[in-house]
C-alpha cells in the first residue's frame, strides 16, 4: 500500500478500534448472550454515522478455503434456504437456479493505450427476498422527488441514526415509524415503515410528502402461491405527476454480478439483476441520458466520478463508473461504446476471477 | 476421576481464562469488521461456538481459531444485515453537490470492502501482520491474502484520488 494511503487507513482503523465494546463477563450461554446484547446495543445507537459505515456494504464475501481439522463452527444462518453458502470459488455453471441472472456481460473494445481490463464475477448469496421499485417525478429529463418503495413479509430492521428515536406517524390511517437520517454535508434520507405484514418501506428525501398525497390504493401486494416467496408489489393510482421510474422487481435472491475494470482505477463497468437506479436515487437528483438508444440515468450534480446506469435486457442492468475525471459528455460517449456478449464469450475473452458460491448458468 | 462439580468449576475457570486472554483481540477484530454496534455479539457468539467444540482446550493456536470464528460470524451477519447497512450508508452519503474530503471517501471505501477483504486489510494495516501470518490466522492461502490485498488497495486508492 502506498505511503499516502497507509496513514489514512491506520487512522480510520484506530478510530474504529477505539469504539471496541467492553469485554464484559465470560459468555456462557447463547440465550443469555442475546438477552444481554440487546441491552448493550441500545447504547451503541449513539455511535456516529462514520462507525456505522464500517459495518459495511459492498461486494459479496469472498470464498474461503478451510482446513477440515481446524475449522471454526459457523453460526447458524437465518438467511432463507435459497442462500448460497460460501464455498470454494466455482464457475457460474455449477448448478441451476430458479432466479434470474444477468445474461449479457460488458465488453469495451477501445481500451486506452497502457490500460488493461480486469474481469471479476461474483456469486452473491441470497438473503431475505423483497420487492423494490422507484417512484418519482420526471420533468424535462430530470428526476426528482424520488421515493424508493420496498415491500417484504418481515418487519424492517432500521437503526435510528445518531441515537435519535424513530418518530410516530400516520400512514393511511395506520401507525407508521419515521427514521430521519442526516449526513455529514446535509443530505438526508428519510425512511417510513408501515404495515403489519406485508411490511412497507418508503425511502427518499421526503417520502411523507409523497405518502400524504397517496392513498391506500396506491400500493398493492400480490401474494405468491409459494408461501416462501415474498409478496409482489403493485401500484394503483399514483399522486399527480408521479410516475413509476423503476418497475417493481424481486431482489435479494442468489445472483451473479460481474464487472470489468479498466486500468487500476479508471473505469468500472458492472452488470447485475438489481436496478442501480433505486440506490442512486437516494444520493441525489438524476437526469436522463441516452445509451445507444436506451434510456439511462446519471447524477445531475458534478461528482468526482461519472455514474451512468441503464437496462440492457430484462434481467441485466449495467452501471458505468468513471473515476479518472472524464467529463459527463465523454462519459456518455464511452457508455455508447460498451457492447455486451453472452457469458461464455465473456469468459473466453476476459478469463474473469470468479468468487462466491455456485450460481446458475447465465442463459438467454 | 474428578467429582462433577469440580469438573464444572474447572471448565468455568478455563472459559474465564480464555475469554480474558483472547476476548479482547476478538472484540477488536470484530469491531474492525462490523463496527461496534454488532461487535460484542459477533465476538461472544464466536467464542461460545469455539468453546463448545469437544476438547476445545486442545485446539492449537486458539487465538487464530477464535479470529477465524469471528470472521465467519461476521460473514453470517453480513448476509443477514446487508440491506440494513446499505440503507444506513445511503443515509449518510455526503452531499453530491459538495466537495468530499478524502477521508470520507476512504471511510466509504473501507465500508465497501467485503468481510474477507476487510479482515485482511485490518490484520495487515492495524495489526501489522505479514501476509504469511494473515494466511495462517484466517486459514487461507498466502496467495489469496496477497491477491486480496492487491484488490483492496485498488479500491482504497480510488477513494483517495
DSSP per-residue string spanning A63-111: P----TTS-PPPPPP-S-TTPPPP-S---TTSS--SS-----EEEES-P
Average pLDDT in chain A:
72
Q: Kindly list the distances between the CA atom of residue A343 and the CA atoms of A16, A111, A317, in Å, as whole numbers in the listed order.
A: 40, 20, 15
* CA B24 to each of CA A100, A344, B18, B29: distance values in angstroms, whole numbers, following the listed order: 44, 48, 10, 9
Segments in chain A forming alpha helices (H): 5-17, 30-44, 49-55, 207-213, 276-280, 328-337, 343-350
Q: Rounded to an integer, what distance in angstroms lies between the CA atom of residue B149 and that of residue A206?
A: 40
CA distance B83 to chain A (A): 8
Question: If contacts are CB pairs under 8 Å, which of residues 139-158 in chain A contact chain B?
Answer: 157-158
DSSP β-bridge partners for residue A353: A120
* CB-nearest partner of A53 from B107, B115, B157: B107
Which residues on adjacent β-strands are paired with residue A105? A341
B134-159 average pLDDT score: 82
Residue A309, phi then psi, degrees to nearest 5? -130, 145
Q: Which chain B residue has the Cα nearest residue A86? A: B75
Bridge partner list, B2: none
DSSP A218: G
Residue A14, pLDDT score: 83
Q: Looking at chain A, which residue has its C-alpha nearest residue B60?
A: A70
- pLDDT for res A142: 92
pLDDT given at position A227: 67
In the beta sheet, which residues pair with residue A354? A121
> Can you list the alpha helix ranges (DSSP code H) found in A144-184?
none
A48, A51, A64, A82: best mutation site toward chain B, by most B Cβ within 10 Å? A64
Of the candidates B53, B98, B112, the beta carbon closest to that of A185 is on: B98
Stronger pLDDT, B92 or A262, i.e. the higher one: A262
CA distances in angstroms from B76 to A72, B3, B32, listed in the order given: 13, 39, 16
Cβ of residue A320 closer than 8 Å to a chain B Cβ = no
The DSSP bridge pattern shows strands A232-235 and A219-222 to be antiparallel
Average of per-residue pLDDT across A179-201: 77
Q: Which residue has the higher pLDDT, A271 or A68?
A: A271
Among the partner-chain residues A2, A14, A62, the one whose CB lies closest to the CB of B157 is: A2
Task: Check B85 against A34: CB less than 8 A apart.
Answer: no
Q: What ipTM was assigned to the predicted interfaces of this complex?
A: 0.75
Residue A34: its pLDDT value, please? 38
Q: Which residues of B touch A188 (CB under 8 A)?
A: 91
Contact (Cβ atoms closer than 8 angstroms) between residue B75 and residue A282? no
> Of the candidates A4, A51, A77, which has its C-beta nearest B79's C-beta?
A77
Instruction: Determine the residue of chain A that is closest to B87 in CA distance.
Output: A158
Q: Is the pLDDT of residue A43 over 90?
A: no
Q: Is A247 helix (H, G, I), strand (E, B) or coil?
A: strand
Yes or no, beta carbons of B72 and A265 under 8 Å apart? no
Which residues in chain B are closer than 8 Å to A192, comparing Cβ atoms?
A: none
Among partner residues A70, A159, A304, which is closest to B139 by beta-carbon distance? A70
Distance (Å, whole) CA B138 – CA A67? 10
Residues in A touching B65 (Cβ below 8 Å): 70, 72
Task: Considering only the beta carbons, identify the residue of B33, B35, B75 that sits closest to A86.
Answer: B75
- pTM of the complete model: 0.55
The crossing angle, in degrees rounded to 10, of helices B62-91 and B131-138 is 90
Mean pLDDT of A170-189: 76
Confidence tier at A318 by pLDDT (50, 70, 90): very high
Which of A45-54, A226-235, A285-294, A301-310 has the largest mean confidence?
A: A285-294
- Half-sphere CA count of A64, side-chain side, radius 13 A: 27
Distance of alpha carbon A37 from the chain centroid: 28
Chain A residue numbers with beta carbons less than 8 Å from the beta carbon of B88 are 49, 52-53, 55, 159, 161, 181
pLDDT one-digit tens code per residue, B72-101: 778 766 655 555 555 554 544 444 333 444
Strands A199-204 and A338-341 come out as: unpaired
**In chain B, what is the greatest distance between 2 CA atoms, to the nearest angstrom?**
73
Could you tell me the three cell numbers for B128?
Answer: 501489522
Specify the pLDDT at position A229: 72
pLDDT at site A296: 94
DSSP, collapsed to helix, strand or coil, labels residue A210 as helix
A74 to chain B: closest CA residue: B72
pLDDT over 60 at B157, yes or no: yes
Q: Which is more confidently placed, B86 or A45?
A: B86
Checking if the pLDDT of A260 tops 90, the result is no
- Most distant CA pair in chain A, distance: 64
Amino acid at each position: 500500500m502506498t505511503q499516502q494511503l497507509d496513514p489514512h487507513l491506520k487512522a480510520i482503523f484506530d478510530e474504529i478500534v477505539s469504539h471496541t465494546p467492553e469485554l464484559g463477563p465470560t459468555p456462557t450461554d447463547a440465550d443469555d448472550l442475546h438477552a444481554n446484547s440487546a441491552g448493550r446495543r441500545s447504547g451503541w445507537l449513539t455511535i456516529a454515522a462514520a462507525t456505522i459505515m464500517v459495518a459495511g456494504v459492498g461486494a459479496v464475501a469472498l470464498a474461503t478455503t478451510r482446513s477440515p481439522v481446524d475449522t471454526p463452527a459457523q453460526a447458524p444462518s437465518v438467511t432463507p434456504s435459497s442462500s448460497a453458502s460460501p464455498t470454494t470459488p466455482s464457475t457460474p455453471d455449477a448448478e441451476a437456479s430458479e432466479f434470474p441472472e444477468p445474461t449479457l456481460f460488458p465488453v469495451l473494445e477501445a481500451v486506452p493505450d497502457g490500460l488493461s481490463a480486469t474481469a471479476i464475477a461474483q456469486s452473491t448469496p441470497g438473503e431475505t427476498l423483497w420487492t423494490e421499485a422507484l417512484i418519482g417525478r420526471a420533468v424535462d429529463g430530470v428526476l426528482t422527488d424520488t421515493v424508493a418503495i420496498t415491500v417484504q413479509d418481515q418487519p424492517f430492521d432500521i437503526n435510528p441514526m445518531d441515537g435519535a428515536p424513530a418518530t410516530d406517524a400516520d400512514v393511511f390511517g395506520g401507525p407508521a415509524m419515521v427514521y430521519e437520517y442526516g449526513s455529514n454535508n446535509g443530505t438526508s434520507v428519510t425512511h417510513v415503515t408501515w404495515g403489519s405484514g406485508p411490511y412497507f418501506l418508503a425511502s427518499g428525501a421526503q417520502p411523507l410528502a409523497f405518502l400524504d398525497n397517496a392513498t391506500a390504493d396506491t400500493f398493492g401486494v400480490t401474494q405468491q402461491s409459494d408461501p416462501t416467496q415474498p409478496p409482489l408489489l403493485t401500484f394503483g393510482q399514483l399522486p399527480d405527476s408521479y410516475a413509476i421510474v423503476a418497475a417493481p422487481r424481486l431482489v435479494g435472491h442468489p445472483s451473479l454480478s460481474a464487472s470489468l475494470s479498466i486500468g487500476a482505477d479508471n473505469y468500472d463497468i458492472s452488470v447485475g439483476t438489481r436496478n442501480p437506479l433505486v440506490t442512486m436515487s437516494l444520493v441525489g437528483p438524476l437526469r436522463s441520458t441516452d445509451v445507444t438508444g436506451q434510456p439511462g440515468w446519471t447524477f445531475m450534480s458534478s461528482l468526482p466520478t461519472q455514474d451512468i446506469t441503464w437496462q440492457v435486457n430484462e434481467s441485466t442492468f449495467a452501471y458505468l463508473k468513471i473515476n479518472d475525471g472524464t467529463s459527463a459528455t465523454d462519459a456518455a460517449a464511452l457508455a455508447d461504446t460498451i457492447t455486451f456478449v453472452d457469458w461464455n464469450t465473456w469468459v473466453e475473452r476476459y478469463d474473469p476471477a470468479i468468487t462466491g458460491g455456485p450460481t446458475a448458468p447465465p442463459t438467454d | 476421576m474428578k467429582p462433577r462439580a469440580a469438573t464444572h468449576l474447572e471448565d468455568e475457570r478455563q472459559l474465564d481464562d480464555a475469554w480474558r486472554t483472547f476476548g479482547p483481540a476478538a472484540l477488536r477484530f470484530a469491531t474492525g469488521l462490523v463496527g461496534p454496534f454488532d461487535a460484542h455479539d459477533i465476538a461472544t457468539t464466536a467464542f461460545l461456538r469455539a468453546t463448545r467444540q469437544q476438547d476445545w482446550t486442545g485446539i492449537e493456536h486458539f487465538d487464530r481459531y477464535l479470529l477465524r470464528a469471528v470472521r465467519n460470524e461476521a460473514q453470517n451477519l453480513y448476509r443477514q444485515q446487508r440491506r440494513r447497512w446499505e440503507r444506513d450508508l445511503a443515509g449518510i452519503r455526503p452531499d453530491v453537490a459538495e466537495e468530499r474530503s478524502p477521508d470520507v471517501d476512504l471511510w466509504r471505501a473501507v465500508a465497501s470492502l467485503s468481510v474477507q477483504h476487510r479482515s485482511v486489510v485490518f490484520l495487515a494495516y492495524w495489526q501489522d501482520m505479514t501476509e504469511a501470518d494473515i494466511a495462517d490466522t484466517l486459514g487461507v492461502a498466502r496467495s489469496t491474502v496477497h491477491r486480496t490485498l492487491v484488490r483492496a488497495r485498488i479500491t482504497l486508492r480510488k477513494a483517495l484520488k
